[in-house]
Chains A and B, each alone.
Chain A
């Protein structure tokens, strides 16, 4: 079964703690992306990676960090510096970057920080 997976589906953390969200794909895609979605809003790009060992900041990268050590994996760490981390986080991948290809999305992780 090819696809993109995110885990866990729901995540609860106390304020001040870092938390890492997992994203794995077996589609052999070069590009991967992290988005944040707040209620009733569209998607905002946090980070993206067009190739292994390379990633770029999106529109709202502050308080987040990523790594891309393997083609299949693009974990996102929400640090304690992120002022309002409670949100729905979506990971996506595409064959290549540059917005010319459809993106395949994972099911999302809903993070709640109290």
Chain B
């Protein structure tokens, strides 16, 4: 019952560069969430964007949502080594719970 799917699966960049990851989903949504997971740790919530919003910012993070294309993107500007993690998008499933994609593994090299 996977709803969201992130792209690319893996991304490797140099410190200071921007990182963009995408999420596509299948059914209509009320909101879409992005989470980060450091290796071997729990997930941390980053941003929730509602279906009537097109863009949202939080620090160096920028999330866009295009409901006509059923897609969202997460942009991390001026990346740091500490941004190395896996990033997941999540949308609401038919049972009302959150459904997570498989994630994008970001590696930021110093």
Contacts and interface: CB of A to CB of B under 8 A. Distances in A.
A92 B97 CA distance: 12
A80 interface: no
A74 interface: no
B44 A42 contact: no
Interface string A91-114: 010000111101111111010000
Given A100-B30, A102-B33, A103-B45, A33 B88 contact: no
Nearest to B30: A100
A58 B1 CA distance: 10
B88 A43 contact: yes
Contacts of A102: 33, 45, 48
A105 B1 contact: no
A42 B93 contact: no
A45 interface: yes
A42 B2 contact: yes
Interface residues of A, number: 27
A99 B98 CA distance: 5
B92 A99 contact: yes
Most buried by B among A58, A97, A100, A110: A100
Which A-B residue pairs are the 7 nearest by beta carbons? A99-B92, A105-B42, A102-B45, A42-B102, A98-B96, A43-B100, A105-B43
Interface of B: 1-2, 30-31, 33, 40-45, 48, 88, 90-93, 95-103
